[in-house]
Amino acid sequence: MKILSWLPDKKFIKQSFVLSSATLLAQVVSFLGSLILFRLYAPAEYGKFGIFVTVSSLVSLVGTGQLQHAVFISENKKQTEQLLSVMMLLSLVISIVFALLLVIFYRQLEGLGTWVILFLPLSILAGGYFFFLSALAVSTKTFDLLSYQKIYSAIISLVISIAIGIWYKDALGLVVGFLISQLVSVLIFYYKLKKLFRFEFLINTKDLVQIFTRFKNFPLFTLPSELVNTLVNQLPLILLGRYYSLDAVGHYKMAVTILNLPIGALAVPVSTVFKQQAAAALAAFSTCREIYLKTTRMLLLSGSLPFLVLGLFGSSLLPLIFGADWQSAGKMVQILVGLYFARFVVSPLTSVTQLTGHQQFALWFNVVLLILTLVLFYGGHQMGVSYLQLLSVYALLYGSLYIFTYTMCLKFCSHAEQH
């Protein structure tokens, strides 16, 4: 048997390569631009910008009700257009409600800057539209559009942030660059997709009830699961700062930034293509086991080299590139490399839970992980173990849960619930 028969077809690989190339180019642009931005903006301004992006992303996530995943299992074009109407209306309502809350609690947030705060509702609306338009682009296999969007977004955000930062070294420059890149991305998607679908705010009560009844698992289970997952990913940073030191937080942040590079450049594009093809396989054959296993092999092959290099040389590479002060970050890379390799392979495949109606599993997995992380870090601190020892146990535990998740998702591939 030829080795290529063990992998997805050429079309899958080509689409993944196109997206990976675009993502990698966007990462290079962002990295090169950061060398300039770090000189223009003070750390405090980056802190304000970080808060802005976090709030915008989380509220945008709520604003879609996570119904964007439903476009992959929509039964026909009319139902897809109904979903679009619901999400457009829901995102608009959430952004308006948030704007009213800002008026009420303005004094508690004014430290971020007046214009930064005022831009939040618009960013939330644009973020919500981006979530479901990008999902629609994936479902219609317009991967070239996704590639252009990634590159344009990175360049626009960078150029505007630098241009404003030259004259006005405030978080406003970073925020405006981010916001305009959001709006441009939405317009790019809309211009292309309006030829395929109607975008209307109007939807009657009967259709609204039908949509929420038909796809209730997404707001009921996928939405809280995504929110908990976001918290789980941020929790080690919070707990390291609480129980250890800011130095530990800084080294951990650097380590995960490095370990996430292969995930962003390779695993995320593969995940995008896999989700569309798995949905098509489920619709045609009621199983996606074959594409699941072939994608697994593709991820194992593509991820082995970068994670092997990081595992073997991480402790020496980081100090060599960034200076001797980052020695601990290099050690963390080697401690966490197994966990992030597991994440590289498994995370792209977990969309199976959404496609097969097993969103409850993803929710309970994230809740259990949240509890275990809290208990582990608190217990480790109480026993007086070092943060490197603690992260070793954390990586082993979390990595084991990824293996369990993989086996469950493989089972779901052939046992989809009726939608």
| pLDDT per position as a tens digit, 235-275 | 887 788 788 876 777 778 778 878 988 898 888 888 888 98
Q: Which of 134-143, 336-345, 347-356 has the lowest mean pLDDT?
A: 134-143
Q: Say what the pLDDT of residue 5 is.
A: 60
Supply the DSSP symbol for 218: I
Catalogue the long-range contacts made by 399-406 (C-beta closer than 8 Å, 24 or more residues apart).
Answer: 399/338, 399/339, 399/342, 401/365, 401/368, 401/369, 402/339, 402/342, 402/343, 402/345, 402/346, 403/342, 403/346, 405/346, 405/350, 405/365, 406/296, 406/345, 406/346, 406/349
Query: For the segment 379-405, what is each residue's pLDDT rounded down to a tens digit?
Result: 988 888 888 899 999 999 999 999 999
Give the whole-angstrom CA distance, residue 73 versus residue 50.
34
Q: Say what the pLDDT of residue 125 is.
A: 94
CA distances from 30 to 7, 51, 65, 108, 164 (A): 32, 19, 30, 32, 16
Under 8 Å between Cβ of 26 and 154: yes
Give the whole-angstrom CA distance, residue 199 versus residue 83.
10
If you average pLDDT over each of 18-27, 132-141, 174-183, which comes out highest?
174-183
The per-residue pLDDT of the chain, averaged, comes to 84
Give the HSE-up count for residue 342: Cα atoms under 13 Å, Cβ half-sphere: 17
Under 8 Å between Cβ of 91 and 128: yes
Output the 3-class SS for 274-290. HHHHHHHHHHHHCCCHH
331: nearest Cα among 398, 244, 389? 389
Under 8 Å between Cβ of 274 and 141: no
Residue 419, pLDDT > 60, answer no
Residue 131, pLDDT > 70, answer yes
Supply the DSSP symbol for 219: I
Under 8 Å between Cβ of 171 and 112: yes
Q: Say what the pLDDT of residue 330 is.
A: 86
Residue 126, pLDDT > 90, answer yes
Give the whole-angstrom CA distance, residue 382 versus residue 405.
30
